Structure 1
Amino acid sequence: MADDRGAFIWYELMTDDPAKARAFYNAVIGWDIDADNSVPDGSMDYRMINRGDGGFAGGVLVLGKDMLANGAKPGWLGYVHVPDVDAAARRFVAAGGAIHMGPNDMEGVGRMALVADPQGAVIYLMTPTPPPGNPDAKSDVFDFAKPRHFRWNELWTSDQDAAASLYGDVFGWTQEGAMPMGEMGDYRFIQHNGGGIGAMGHAQSGGEGSRWQYFAGVDDIDRACKAVVENGGAMLGEPMPIPGGEYSAYAHDPSGATIGLVGPRKEP
């Protein structure tokens, strides 16, 4: 697969209720999540998220009883392409982070590791296996502008300088520009290959701590927010205007996983 170090190449929803997740994300974003497990041997319950244009938006890992008993919780995880998973994982540990899973290989998928940065934000490292006959394939799950793709990656961290240094070192990201947020500090933008992919905010005392959050594109922010409530989710505040004329909002899905939404506000 094309070496695209530092690119977000996959997103994964962990949920304890795939049926509710399927209905919710279809109504809110327009995704069609597989109704059944796609793993032939049944070793895990994993379902693909289909965008409707022939591509994928990510996957869904269904949390079984053992996973839940061991502390797994509904939520979203992002995967970032690295050319050497083992070396990247060691750099996280050397900086004061931790390896939570792996590195290990999944046949036909790639090599991956689940790591935490020194502030506790969790992310996957992955060297994907290219699909048969297409060694230069590139993921298109992230797109800054398109609905039904992931459009923004947001890191809330207790140490922005340390995070910028680590992620810059391992992924090659740059950090240029910021938006002042008053008492919350600066919202610092991050780039990959010169294009904006997200930002870093300062994790607030008493809040949810250091973490990654992800935003999916919608065609109409007001329609999507209405669908959140109508399909068992909950809005975390009202849509807010963002640079460029669009709006963003945070929501919980029916199992409590946080999903960000971003898109235009259409005239009635």
Structure 2
Amino acid sequence: MINTVAWFEIATDDPQGAEKFYGELFGWSFATDEGSAKNGMDYRLVGYPGGDGPRGGLYASGGAFPGHAVFSVVVADTEAACARVESLGGEVVRKVVGNEHGPDFAYVRDVSGNLFGVFTPPGAAAGA
């Protein structure tokens, strides 16, 4: 559904440590995201014991991006959402639009400096 939290991501330069921590804390499991792996990215999908739960992933950042645990909201149009973030006094930190390997997405900050994500699923029509 548009404008709802639909994904979370944990980024770390120690993916094995994060897997161990969250696995032991919550019983989560992790599997390689094959699409990301084909493009040289170490991204792992989170699995839950006994259910789907909110969808999420673990990003092995290799130190190229600060560690974070962040939620992402599905939007009809990532570009428009970024423009709206800026018009409301927020900041676009990183934007990837026209991405042939995954969804259009952006990391943004709210007016308090909190990082979160917005994304448009592949093939989603603007304004849907």
Output the TM-score relative to the length of structure 1: 0.41
Which whole-Å CA distance do the structure 2 matches of 1:74 and 1:27 have between them?
20
In the other structure, the counterpart of 2:62 is 64
In the other structure, the counterpart of 1:126 is 119
Q: Which runs of 4+ in 1 moved over 3 A?
A: 52-57, 105-109
In the other structure, the counterpart of 1:11 is 8
Which whole-Å CA distance do the structure 1 matches of 2:97 and 2:52 have between them?
26
Residues 12, 105 of structure 1: alpha-carbon distance in 2 compared, 3 angstrom cutoff: farther
Q: Which amino acid aligns with 2:5?
A: F
**Aligned residues, how many?**
122
Which runs of 5 or more structure 1 residues have no equivalent in the other structure?
136-268
Larger RCO, structures 1/2 (Cα 8 Å, 6+ apart): 2
Which whole-Å CA distance do the structure 2 matches of 1:20 and 1:104 have between them?
31
Partner residue of 1:52 out of 49, 54, 64: 49
Which whole-Å CA distance do the structure 1 matches of 2:19 and 2:121 have between them?
26
Cα drift, residue 43 of structure 1 = 2.2
CA deviation vs aligned residue, 1:158-191 (integer Å, no higher than 9, x gap): xxxxxxxxxxxxxxxxxxxxxxxxxxxxxxxxxx
Pairing 1:17-96 to 2, within 5 Å after superposition? 17-34=14-31, 36=32, 38=34, 39-53=36-50, 55=52, 57-65=55-63, 67=64, 72-96=65-89
Question: How many percent of aligned residue pairs carry the same amino acid?
Answer: 28
CA deviation vs aligned residue, 1:110-155 (integer Å, no higher than 9, x gap): 211111122211111111126xxxx9xxxxxxxxxxxxxxxxxxxx
Q: Which moved more, 1:119-128 or 1:40-49?
A: 40-49
CA deviation vs aligned residue, 1:63-115 (integer Å, no higher than 9, x gap): 214x1xxxx33220111011111111101111221111114143363211111
Decide which structure has the larger Cα Rg and report it.
1
Query: What SS class does the counterpart of residue 93 from structure 1 fall into?
Result: helix
Which whole-Å CA distance do the structure 2 matches of 1:37 and 1:108 have between them?
12
CA deviation vs aligned residue, 1:213-265 (integer Å, no higher than 9, x gap): xxxxxxxxxxxxxxxxxxxxxxxxxxxxxxxxxxxxxxxxxxxxxxxxxxxxx
Output the TM-score relative to the length of structure 2: 0.81
Q: Which amino acid aligns with 1:23?
A: K
State whether residues 86 and 103 of structure 1, in contact with CA within 8 Å, keep that contact through their aligned partners in structure 2.
no
State whether residues 105 and 112 of structure 1, in contact with CA within 8 Å, keep that contact through their aligned partners in structure 2.
no
Residues 52, 107 of structure 1: alpha-carbon distance in 2 compared, 3 angstrom cutoff: farther
Q: Which amino acid aligns with 1:91?
A: R
Matched, 1:101 2:91: no
Matched, 1:111 2:104: yes
State whether residues 12 and 58 of structure 1, in contact with CA within 8 Å, keep that contact through their aligned partners in structure 2.
yes
Query: What SS class does the counterpart of residue 106 from structure 1 fall into?
Result: coil
